[in-house]
Structure 1
Amino acid sequence: MSKKDALTAAAAELLWERGYSATSPAMILERSKAGQGSMYHHFAGKAELAIAAMTHMSDQLRAKIETALAAADTATARVNAYLDSERDPLAGCRMGRLLHDHDVVGDERLRAPVAEFFTWLTDRLTEVLADGVRSAELRPDLDVATTAAHIVATVQGAYVLARAHQNPHEFNRAIDGAKHMLANLRA
């Protein structure tokens, strides 16, 4: 693994674990086992490295989600495969947790990769639901964009509930509710 890749991977792990504000360049260097010169050779500073790490996290999540969405034939089964994807509810969403950090929310450059990920996810679920409407699996009057946003919000809220109660069952209960809602949208 190149020094740049090691720095990016270390930053991604630390951003997920600690957030942007609580992650220092020294922590990233220690985790990556790279020298200080390597960081500033590849990145202009902490923000640029964080953006690269967020993009890396987004790419990993997109690939995982695409794999889940390809695992079934019907729209309902595809969305359920996404909802049933393996997750660590108590660790929280890699991308969603970044929005709990004031420095990320307050900086358009830092917020952009997170917003782009959630836009992509909502659009991707919208496409799957639209396929379900076209195939007459789902109700013809279904607002697919609103339903997709609801599913994304449910997953993010499920992480919050699980972390608040320190109980993964809370996550699973919310996910079961989303699956129940989806089942009731069948044509």
Structure 2
Amino acid sequence: MYSVGVSTPERLIEATRELLWERGYVGTSPKAILQRAGAGQGSMYHHFTGKPDLALAAIRRTAQELRTAAEGILGGPGSAYERVDAYLRRERDVLRGCPVGRLTMDPDVIASDELRGPLDETLDWLRERLAGIVEEGQERGEFASSLDGEEVAATIVATVQGGYVLARASGSTAAFDTGVRGLLSLLAVASPDSPASPRPPARTDV
């Protein structure tokens, strides 16, 4: 499963990331991690103090990857509207759900201040980054001055995370796509220079 030369700690972290996304914290047993990583007995405790320590490393990496992917789009070229549009339409494995968002619904993760920390920090960063882009758009006359940047940012994040939930519940990406189109339509109304009829979002399950 892993390329030749990948270190044991790396394999353990990646295996844990995958299992946390698929099964949650309780379902991610040390045995399952070792099997997925192709690592020998005792290797977890050689490189990490235990499952919580390994899970923290995995969650930190997942959170950092989400942040890096988001910044790659939000920090890219284009108007404020275009960058928000690109973020909402970026390729996602919608039916698997958000690897960060799903962890926020895991009671064992949320019960731990340490494990919850990277998730909270990442979502806070995302809201602040989006709010800054909305405010930038207002300064350039792209968005109405009456909009509240923090409220719009929270709505964007809620639309994405809620879209994942609705898509998984229905077994279809349609609900996610509809939520994205609806939000972009509302933003277009407040963005005179943006297209009035946003194109359908990219599908990732076909």
TM-score by length of 2: 0.87
Q: Which residue of 2 aligns with 1:80?
A: 85
The letter for the 2-side match of 1:41 is H
Q: Which residue of 2 aligns with 1:112?
A: 117
Q: Which of 3, 8, 33 is 2:8 aligned to?
A: 3
Where does the alignment leave 5 or more consecutive residues of structure 2 unmatched?
1-5, 193-206
CA deviation after TM superposition for structure 1 residue 136, in Å: 1.4
- Cα-to-partner distance string for 1:44-93 (whole Å, 9 max, x where unaligned): 11111111101111121112111222443100000010000101111000
* Identity, % of aligned positions: 46
SS of 1:90 mapped into structure 2: helix
Q: Which of 39, 43, 59 is 1:38 aligned to?
A: 43
Separation (CA, whole Å) in 1 of partners of 2:128 and 2:52: 27
Q: Which residue of 1 aligns with 2:54?
A: 49
Separation (CA, whole Å) in 2 of partners of 1:103 and 1:70: 34
SS of 2:182 mapped into structure 1: helix
Q: Which residue of 1 aligns with 2:34?
A: 29
CA deviation after TM superposition for structure 1 residue 34, in Å: 1.4
- Cα-to-partner distance string for 1:124-167 (whole Å, 9 max, x where unaligned): 11111111011111111221011101100110000010011111
CA deviation after TM superposition for structure 1 residue 106, in Å: 1.3
Q: How does 1:1-187 map to 2 (within 5 A)?
A: 1-186=6-191
- Contact 1:72/1:81 (8 A) holds in 2: no
CA deviation after TM superposition for structure 1 residue 183, in Å: 1.0
Report the number of matched residues.
187
What CA RMSD, in Å, does the superposition of the two structures yield over aligned residues? Answer: 1.2
CA deviation after TM superposition for structure 1 residue 180, in Å: 1.1
Separation (CA, whole Å) in 1 of partners of 2:75 and 2:112: 35
Largest Rg, 1 or 2: 2
CA deviation after TM superposition for structure 1 residue 37, in Å: 2.5
Q: Which residue of 1 aligns with 2:200?
A: none
- Contact 1:71/1:81 (8 A) holds in 2: no
TM-score by length of 1: 0.95
SS of 2:185 mapped into structure 1: helix
CA deviation after TM superposition for structure 1 residue 38, in Å: 2.0
Separation (CA, whole Å) in 1 of partners of 2:73 and 2:91: 10
Separation (CA, whole Å) in 2 of partners of 1:185 and 1:50: 42
The letter for the 1-side match of 2:54 is L
Separation (CA, whole Å) in 2 of partners of 1:15 and 1:132: 37
- Contact 1:90/1:166 (8 A) holds in 2: yes
The letter for the 1-side match of 2:183 is A
